[in-house]
Amino acid sequence: MYNPYQLDMIRRRQQELIAAAERSRTVRTLRTSRRARRRPPSVDT
């Protein structure tokens, strides 16, 4: 069994991983949307 300290560390690490995933996802969507807005597909052709 884990002791409460180890459980707290595991829980904190999982929350950090979730926060990092959400941050990277939002940054990626912002970057792609900004690129699409700056250069529409009609201009490329």
Over its length of 45 residues, how does the chain's per-residue pLDDT go in tens digits? 779 999 999 999 999 999 998 888 887 777 666 666 666 566 555
Segments making up each domain of the chain, as ranges? 4-35
Token digits for 38? 């700056």
At 2 the pLDDT is 75
At 7 the pLDDT is 93
What does the DSSP 8-state code read for residue 24? H
At 29 the pLDDT is 73
With 0.75 as the threshold, say if the pTM is over it: no
Residue 17 C-alpha from the chain's centroid:
9
